[in-house]
Structure 1
Amino acid sequence: MVRKMGSSVRSFVRFVTAIVVLIALPTCLLFAQTSTATILGVVKDASGALVPGVSITIKHTESGLTRTVVSGERGGYNVPLLPVGAYEITTTMPGFKQQVRSGINLVVGQEAVVDLTLEVGAIGEQVTVTEEAPLVNTTTSSTSGVITEQQVKDLPLNGRSFDQLITLNVGVSNATSNTLDSGNWNMFSVAGKRPETNRFIINGIDWVGGNANGQYITPEGASRQMLGVEAVREFNVLTDTYSAEYGKRAGGQISIVTTSGTNQLHGSVFEYLRNSVFDARNFFDQTTGAPPFKRNQFGGALGGPIKKDKMFLFGTYEGYQERLSRSSASIVPGTCARQGLFPDAAGACAPVSGLKPEML
């Protein structure tokens, strides 16, 4: 009996460990090219001469992720596939002072050009640049449609469906009223193209949501909303003339990056209520006052480190409850029609000529 119980406990521990690993894996910093950013530039000395062989360390300050590269023969360096967020650059080269550059904040799809100028001196000396200098993005125009983390979290959203922010971009219009589903889901026309030609990418993976039947409409959940504002860090809308790593669809490319855990424990709890108290009666409503309506959205998010600089965990939950009354106009058979009669010129019910009883 004791041996069987010990075996069951070990099996349970292995099962729980596997679940934790599966949950933690999505938070690992592994991203596709369409959902990441790049830092590149040239290293020079004070005279403007190119400096090869410089060790350059890129550190993601939120998670502690570090990448180290060495400048090439022409002083250039390139660090692709970086998660979005704040970064710090440190250079090391014998005969030059160590330079620490902070204040670099990358957004999805960005290629940030950060040129470095080294000063002659002992390697033990350090030059720290903390000013948030503007990053010149001369290599690509793919960041023109970025909706930042602050915009996603702070701008008011009716229903907390973050896709409504897509219309903040030039050339994007809401085409919900033109849908064949009576406007039950949000649809957008990007640069004049059809809404179903848009492509949604989440962390580099094509996202079709519950619409896995091949219809490339806006992804949605059971509530007909794209919930999870707490889980969305930022997203980028490419309207046209995008580069080769994008494609598959002729419309806009909407690349979404989710929130992940960091070295700092963070979380939130929320409750949003909307009801008919302040609503006006619709013209077609045959009611006294506005029809009953009550919507509750509630939930929370929590993220933090499992092992500092190594493994992180982030989770979010959002509940959606809605009680909504809608007025609708329908055509039904009248009193005469239900008897197989037809109103004459005087309005009286009269038999229809040639109508057979079996036709009713």
Structure 2
Amino acid sequence: MSLLGCRLSPGIVFLLRLLLLLLVALAFGSSSLAQNSRGSVRGTVFDASGARVRTAQISLTMPSTSQTRRVALNERGDFRVDDLTPGNYIVLAQAKGFGDVSLSFPVLVNFVQQLSIILKPQPVEESVNVRGVPVSVTSQPIDSATAIHQSVVTDYDLQSLPLAHRSFANIAYLTPGTEPVEPSDPTKARITAVSFGGSSGLNVQNTVDGGDNTDDYIGGFLQNFSADAIQEFAVQTAQEEAETGQTVGGSVVISTKHGSNDWHGGAAFYERASALTARYPLDNPSPDSKQPFSRQNYVGTLGGPIKTDKVWFFSSFEYVHEDASISYSPTSLTEFNALASLAADGLIPGVPSISVPNNVPVPFRDFLGTARLDLAQSPHSQWFLRGALDNYTTENDLVQQATLASTGATSGSKYFNVALNNVYSFSPTWLGSFTADFGALHHTEARNQDYG
């Protein structure tokens, strides 16, 4: 490398790169408070007698993308690799005089995987699959490498467990000490909050791919993501890390899906009708017909290589078509009919008539889109760029049991978020990472009428 015609030594080049990384970290200082949306692995290499092998060479490979990271052992024969994209990996241990040993294991978001590798004399070669059964939030081991109380919801959970309202947050309730809380902000339709220890859920911090997804004004989650766009997420309930310094409550750390060398995708359709909805006897008693309701979810995903072993993409799209309704109780109908009689008799100035329906339709339309691009710039540098959109509209919003449809409004919100991340390996023992994210919200409200 040269600068103004002068050739720089490798040591100076290393210092310049380190200085550049520090400047970037300072420029995006707010991102440094974000939680780690990646995973880690640490382990120790032994021989058959239990003695530590300090001369072993360790490499980790993600089979789906062929990306490889090499790491050096310390003087105790231990190793640790951080900032790994969640997914399945293979670790290969090699040492002179010993047979090669490879282990297959999963890397979970915000979780440190512990490995013990035993080398045997040549020519014995051994391959061990640590992941005998799918990793699930219902059966995962305790992370003994940290004091953090957390549970990790994996892709297996998101695909196999039922999701009410197709909201990923509903699985978070499998974590001890959590419960659902309805959002108190009208701009957050269908975004269920997570309560920790009986809290309001507004003091919970949420990050997606290392970028902040927390509402700085009212608290709680900001933007919704399709469950099919999420690789996995961690739910921390106590003893959070120092990087979780923006909240006194719990935290939810999300990592989105990424592409691989194999083309993959899927399509799904979900249907729910009023016949599957329970009747609420106070507001909708028999023999009145059950209040109208229907919801359809259309989901599609596609991912694969743009250039094998170099560039990958993944995209996810979900459209929600919901026709809900609010049924008035007999008490509310009696009061509304009395009000309509007063209007018909001309006793309400400026209001000649009032329509009193048995129920009020509440149509809801939502589009969720996510696209991610991953780049292996070199064996030392990996990038990803992810964009996400949440665009929804609700008619007759804010209408409640004791109010007429004229008091409602048509509301709409457009959320947009972009995250950029780079992980650079300076050496087997030096690693740098930074994340920059940008988010925007445009919300509109249009009242149905000025009276009612």
TM-score bracket relative to the smaller structure: 0.7 to 0.9
Secondary structure in structure 2 of the residue aligned to 1:195:
coil
Using structure 2 for the length normalisation, give the TM-score.
Answer: 0.59
1:338-349 equivalent positions in 2, closer than 5 A: 339=347
Show CA shifts across 1:91-118 (max 9, x none): 222222222222x112112112212222
1:152 pairs with 2:158: yes
Measure how far apart 1:187 and its partner are. Answer: 2.5
Change (3 A) 1:55 1:195: same
- Matched-pair contact (CA < 8 Å) for 2:303–2:314: yes
In structure 1, the partner of 2:221 is 218
Measure how far apart 1:161 and its partner are. Answer: 1.1
Measure how far apart 1:227 and its partner are. Answer: 4.6
Instruction: Tell me which of 86, 97, 100 is aligned to 1:98.
Output: 100
In structure 2, the partner of 1:4 is none
Change (3 A) 1:288 1:70: same
* Structure 2: distance between partners of 1:113 and 1:55: 17
AA in 1 matched with 2:233: F
* Structure 1: distance between partners of 2:155 and 2:290: 36
In structure 2, the partner of 1:256 is 254
In structure 2, the partner of 1:129 is 128
- Matched-pair contact (CA < 8 Å) for 1:167–1:174: yes
- Matched-pair contact (CA < 8 Å) for 2:153–2:171: yes
AA in 2 matched with 1:84: P
Secondary structure in structure 2 of the residue aligned to 1:144:
strand
1:319 pairs with 2:324: no
Change (3 A) 1:217 1:274: same
- Matched-pair contact (CA < 8 Å) for 2:94–2:101: yes
In structure 1, the partner of 2:363 is none
Structure 1 segments (4+ residues) deviating >6 Å? 133-136
In structure 2, the partner of 1:107 is 108
Secondary structure in structure 1 of the residue aligned to 2:172:
helix
Measure how far apart 1:278 and its partner are. Answer: 4.2
Structure 1: stretches of 5+ with no match in the other structure: 1-31, 221-225, 341-360
Measure how far apart 1:152 and its partner are. Answer: 1.0
Change (3 A) 1:63 1:151: same
* Structure 1: distance between partners of 2:217 and 2:185: 16
Change (3 A) 1:214 1:96: same
- Matched-pair contact (CA < 8 Å) for 1:108–1:143: no
Secondary structure in structure 2 of the residue aligned to 1:325:
strand
In structure 1, the partner of 2:369 is none
Structure 2: stretches of 5+ with no match in the other structure: 1-33, 133-139, 349-452
Change (3 A) 1:338 1:239: farther
Show CA shifts across 1:155-205 (max 9, x none): 1222211111121111112222x8475995422211233311001111111
In structure 2, the partner of 1:61 is 63
Change (3 A) 1:228 1:132: closer
Change (3 A) 1:338 1:217: farther
* Structure 2: distance between partners of 1:126 and 1:304: 33
* Structure 1: distance between partners of 2:87 and 2:308: 17
Using structure 1 for the length normalisation, give the TM-score.
Answer: 0.73
In structure 2, the partner of 1:275 is 273
Show CA shifts across 1:47-80 (max 9, x none): 3333223210111122211100121222111111
Measure how far apart 1:136 and its partner are. Answer: 7.6
* Structure 1: distance between partners of 2:312 and 2:341: 66
Once the two structures are overlaid, the 10-residue window that deviates more, 34-43 or 140-149, is 140-149
Q: How many residues align?
A: 298
Instruction: Tell me which of 119, 137, 144 is aligned to 1:138.
Output: 144
Instruction: Tell me which of 199, 203, 213 is aligned to 1:197.
Output: 203
- Matched-pair contact (CA < 8 Å) for 1:268–1:300: yes
Measure how far apart 1:141 and its partner are. Answer: 4.5
Show CA shifts across 1:266-311 (max 9, x none): 1111111222244455442489412322212113101111222221
Change (3 A) 1:127 1:136: farther
Change (3 A) 1:65 1:197: same
Secondary structure in structure 1 of the residue aligned to 2:253:
strand
1:335 pairs with 2:342: yes
In structure 2, the partner of 1:307 is 307
Secondary structure in structure 1 of the residue aligned to 2:249:
coil
Write 1 or 2 for the structure with the bigger share of strand: 2
- Matched-pair contact (CA < 8 Å) for 2:63–2:88: yes
* Structure 2: distance between partners of 1:136 and 1:41: 16
* Structure 1: distance between partners of 2:231 and 2:150: 17
- Matched-pair contact (CA < 8 Å) for 2:169–2:193: no
- Matched-pair contact (CA < 8 Å) for 1:232–1:259: yes
* Structure 2: distance between partners of 1:118 and 1:42: 11
In structure 2, the partner of 1:28 is none
- Matched-pair contact (CA < 8 Å) for 2:150–2:237: no
Secondary structure in structure 2 of the residue aligned to 1:72:
coil
In structure 1, the partner of 2:52 is 50
* Structure 1: distance between partners of 2:288 and 2:150: 48
Show CA shifts across 1:17-74 (max 9, x none): xxxxxxxxxxxxxxx8611111112222223333223210111122211100121222
How big is the alpha-carbon RMSD for the aligned residues of Structure 1 and Structure 2?
A: 3.0
Once the two structures are overlaid, the 10-residue window that deviates more, 270-279 or 64-73, is 270-279
